Amino acid sequence: MNDKVNILQIDVEDWYCDLHIRYWESYEDRVVQSTDKVLRILKERNIQATFFILGYVAERFPQLVKKIKEEGHEIASHGYSHTPITKQTPREFEEDLSKSIRILEKISGDKIWGYRAPQFTIVEKHLGR
Protein backbone atom coordinates (compact mmCIF):
# COMPACT_ATOMS: atom_id res chain seq x y z
CA MET A 1 0.00 0.00 0.00
CA ASN A 2 1.28 3.44 -0.91
CA ASP A 3 1.03 5.78 2.10
CA LYS A 4 2.72 8.75 0.43
CA VAL A 5 0.72 11.95 0.07
CA ASN A 6 1.61 14.22 -2.80
CA ILE A 7 0.26 17.65 -3.63
CA LEU A 8 -0.40 18.50 -7.25
CA GLN A 9 -0.82 22.09 -8.35
CA ILE A 10 -1.61 23.18 -11.88
CA ASP A 11 -1.51 26.68 -13.37
CA VAL A 12 -4.30 27.36 -15.85
CA GLU A 13 -3.00 29.95 -18.29
CA ASP A 14 -2.47 30.06 -22.02
CA TRP A 15 0.79 29.85 -23.91
CA TYR A 16 0.90 33.60 -24.56
CA CYS A 17 0.21 34.79 -21.00
CA ASP A 18 3.76 35.92 -20.30
CA LEU A 19 3.22 38.69 -22.86
CA HIS A 20 1.43 41.92 -21.88
CA ILE A 21 -2.33 41.40 -21.62
CA ARG A 22 -3.03 43.96 -24.36
CA TYR A 23 -1.75 41.43 -26.93
CA TRP A 24 -3.64 38.36 -25.72
CA GLU A 25 -6.74 38.63 -27.87
CA SER A 26 -4.66 38.43 -31.05
CA TYR A 27 -3.47 34.88 -30.25
CA GLU A 28 -5.10 31.49 -30.59
CA ASP A 29 -6.44 30.09 -27.33
CA ARG A 30 -5.26 26.59 -26.41
CA VAL A 31 -5.98 26.57 -22.68
CA VAL A 32 -9.27 24.65 -22.87
CA GLN A 33 -7.86 21.80 -24.95
CA SER A 34 -4.68 21.62 -22.85
CA THR A 35 -6.58 21.63 -19.56
CA ASP A 36 -9.03 19.02 -20.86
CA LYS A 37 -6.06 16.70 -21.52
CA VAL A 38 -4.77 17.21 -17.99
CA LEU A 39 -8.25 16.62 -16.53
CA ARG A 40 -8.58 13.39 -18.50
CA ILE A 41 -5.24 12.09 -17.20
CA LEU A 42 -6.11 13.00 -13.61
CA LYS A 43 -9.53 11.39 -13.87
CA GLU A 44 -8.06 8.14 -15.25
CA ARG A 45 -5.76 7.96 -12.23
CA ASN A 46 -8.29 9.23 -9.65
CA ILE A 47 -6.03 12.16 -8.73
CA GLN A 48 -7.21 15.50 -7.34
CA ALA A 49 -5.30 18.76 -7.72
CA THR A 50 -5.46 22.46 -7.05
CA PHE A 51 -5.93 24.47 -10.24
CA PHE A 52 -4.58 28.03 -10.07
CA ILE A 53 -6.68 29.75 -12.72
CA LEU A 54 -6.09 33.16 -14.27
CA GLY A 55 -9.11 35.43 -13.89
CA TYR A 56 -8.79 36.30 -17.58
CA VAL A 57 -9.08 32.62 -18.53
CA ALA A 58 -12.01 32.08 -16.15
CA GLU A 59 -13.83 35.09 -17.58
CA ARG A 60 -13.41 33.84 -21.16
CA PHE A 61 -14.03 30.16 -20.40
CA PRO A 62 -16.34 29.87 -17.38
CA GLN A 63 -17.33 26.34 -18.43
CA LEU A 64 -13.71 25.27 -17.94
CA VAL A 65 -13.80 26.46 -14.32
CA LYS A 66 -17.10 24.65 -13.80
CA LYS A 67 -15.68 21.45 -15.29
CA ILE A 68 -12.60 21.59 -13.05
CA LYS A 69 -14.84 22.03 -10.00
CA GLU A 70 -17.29 19.31 -11.10
CA GLU A 71 -14.39 16.87 -11.32
CA GLY A 72 -13.60 17.53 -7.66
CA HIS A 73 -10.55 19.75 -7.96
CA GLU A 74 -9.84 22.84 -5.88
CA ILE A 75 -10.14 26.21 -7.61
CA ALA A 76 -7.56 28.87 -6.70
CA SER A 77 -6.39 32.19 -8.16
CA HIS A 78 -3.39 32.86 -10.35
CA GLY A 79 -4.27 36.57 -10.51
CA TYR A 80 -6.13 38.16 -13.40
CA SER A 81 -3.51 39.43 -15.84
CA HIS A 82 -0.45 37.25 -15.10
CA THR A 83 1.53 40.40 -14.34
CA PRO A 84 4.51 39.67 -12.09
CA ILE A 85 4.01 41.10 -8.61
CA THR A 86 7.38 42.82 -8.91
CA LYS A 87 5.91 44.91 -11.76
CA GLN A 88 2.79 46.00 -9.86
CA THR A 89 2.19 48.62 -7.21
CA PRO A 90 0.52 47.31 -4.05
CA ARG A 91 -2.76 48.82 -5.25
CA GLU A 92 -2.44 47.23 -8.72
CA PHE A 93 -1.71 43.89 -7.08
CA GLU A 94 -4.76 44.17 -4.83
CA GLU A 95 -7.02 45.12 -7.76
CA ASP A 96 -5.68 42.31 -9.97
CA LEU A 97 -6.07 39.68 -7.25
CA SER A 98 -9.49 40.93 -6.12
CA LYS A 99 -10.78 40.91 -9.69
CA SER A 100 -9.66 37.32 -10.23
CA ILE A 101 -11.16 36.17 -6.94
CA ARG A 102 -14.53 37.81 -7.71
CA ILE A 103 -14.67 36.09 -11.11
CA LEU A 104 -13.65 32.67 -9.76
CA GLU A 105 -16.05 32.83 -6.81
CA LYS A 106 -18.94 33.87 -9.05
CA ILE A 107 -18.34 30.98 -11.46
CA SER A 108 -17.49 28.29 -8.91
CA GLY A 109 -19.79 29.34 -6.09
CA ASP A 110 -16.91 28.61 -3.70
CA LYS A 111 -14.77 30.83 -1.49
CA ILE A 112 -11.33 31.16 -3.09
CA TRP A 113 -8.50 30.65 -0.60
CA GLY A 114 -5.46 29.77 -2.70
CA TYR A 115 -3.21 32.07 -4.70
CA ARG A 116 -0.08 31.50 -6.73
CA ALA A 117 1.91 34.49 -7.96
CA PRO A 118 2.61 34.74 -11.69
CA GLN A 119 6.09 33.90 -12.91
CA PHE A 120 7.34 32.78 -9.47
CA THR A 121 7.47 36.38 -8.19
CA ILE A 122 6.88 35.67 -4.51
CA VAL A 123 10.27 34.55 -3.34
CA GLU A 124 12.19 35.11 -0.13
CA LYS A 125 13.98 38.26 -1.35
CA HIS A 126 10.56 39.95 -1.92
CA LEU A 127 9.23 39.26 1.58
CA GLY A 128 10.67 42.51 2.96
CA ARG A 129 12.46 41.03 5.95
Q: What is the pLDDT of residue 54?
A: 97
Question: Residue 54, Cα to own-chain centre: how many angstroms?
Answer: 4
Average pLDDT, the chain: 91
% helix, strand, coil for the chain, step of 5: 50, 10, 40
Question: What's the number of CA atoms in the CB half-sphere (13 Å) around residue 102?
Answer: 7
Q: What is the pLDDT of residue 127?
A: 60
> Splitting the chain (129 residues) into consecutive groups of 10 residues, what average pLDDT does each group show?
72 93 93 98 96 97 98 97 92 97 98 92 65
Domains of the chain, residue spans: 48-129
Q: Can you tell me the distance from the alpha carbon of 20 to that of 23, in angstroms, rounded to the nearest whole number? A: 6
The radius of gyration of the chain's CA atoms, rounded to the nearest angstrom, is 15
Distances in whole angstroms, Cα of residue 80 to Cα of each of 7, 52, 57, 101, 124: 24, 11, 8, 8, 23
Q: What is the pLDDT of residue 63?
A: 98
What's the CATH architecture for 48-129? Alpha-Beta Barrel (3.20)
Q: What is the pLDDT of residue 119?
A: 85
